[in-house]
Amino acid sequence: MKNQFCIYGASGHSKVIIEILERRGESIKGLFDDDPEKKALLDYLVNHEKDFLLLDNSNWVIGIGDNATRKKIAENNSLNFTEIIDTGTNISKRIMVGKGTVIMPGVTINSSVVIGQHAIVNTNASIDHDCILMDYVHISPNATLCGGVSIGEGTHVGAGAVIIPGTKIGKWAKIGAGSVIIRDIPDNATVVGNPGRIINNRNSK
């Protein structure tokens, strides 16, 4: 019997999740979104009634790319969240993946990586051995995390960014697309460039 999946949120991110589930041969029971203007996504109707959230025996994933919104939904809904991993990945058997995390096509993850809950590892990202990604992290397409990197809760690593081995990135930081990170980054910092430089740090206010 196929697993049944529901997706919370009808967004572009949800489209990719839908196609991952379709490739895996899973049954998509429905989508929920609280925006009444959203009627359908791809071939699926979007539900707006809160009773839809009470569907029994369904696995759930949050189809929203924004990290803070994903955290709010996860913390305010007692649903059976589960991880979603595309079939076209190259992933070590020796990793740990938290509930609600989504791993997109083309991703490579090497040995002894730990990924928290409701994270996103996006298309063609590369995560080397012994990295730690906390809850609600988003690793964007083609980003590269070298060995032993740690990423704090809610941090967004932009497309094509490179983080050198052993670097520690704080919570709720933003790493700009194409940045090269060669030193540790504090919580709440925004970093851009090669080498990466802090252009905003909310901790300093």
pLDDT in tens, the chain (205 residues): 467 899 999 999 999 999 999 999 998 988 999 888 999 999 898 988 766 656 667 899 999 999 999 999 999 988 899 999 999 999 999 999 999 999 999 999 999 999 999 999 999 999 999 999 999 999 999 999 999 999 999 999 999 999 999 999 999 999 999 999 999 999 999 999 999 999 987 764 3
Query: Taking the C-alpha atoms of 116, 35, 86 and 66 in order, what is their torsion angle to the nearest 10 degrees?
Result: -40
pLDDT of residue 34: 87
pLDDT of residue 153: 98
pLDDT of residue 53: 57
Distance CA(16)–CA(22), nearest Å, equals 10
Of 48, 58, 103, 106, the closest CA to residue 78 belongs to 58
Distance CA(194)–CA(7), nearest Å, equals 37
State both tokens at 75.
Answer: 């913390």
State both tokens at 203.
Answer: 């901790």
Q: 91 and 111 in contact (C-beta within 8 Å)?
A: no
Question: For the chain, which domains are there?
Answer: 4-75 (3.40.50.20), 84-193 (2.160.10.10)
**Could you confirm whether 129 is annotated as catalytic?**
yes
pLDDT of residue 54: 60
Query: Taking the C-alpha atoms of 164, 168, 172 and 174 in order, what is their torsion angle to the nearest 10 degrees?
Result: -20
pLDDT of residue 111: 98
Q: What are phi and psi of 151, to 5 degrees?
A: -125, 120
Q: What is the full DSSP assignment across 141-181?
A: TT-EE-TT-EE-TT-EEPTT-EE-TT-EE-TT-EE-TT-EE
pLDDT of residue 1: 47
Say if strands 189-192 and 180-181 run parallel, antiparallel, or are unpaired: unpaired
Q: Looking at 13, 48, 118, 129, which residue is catalytic?
A: 129
Q: What is the pTM of this model?
A: 0.93
Distance CA(176)–CA(169), nearest Å, equals 13
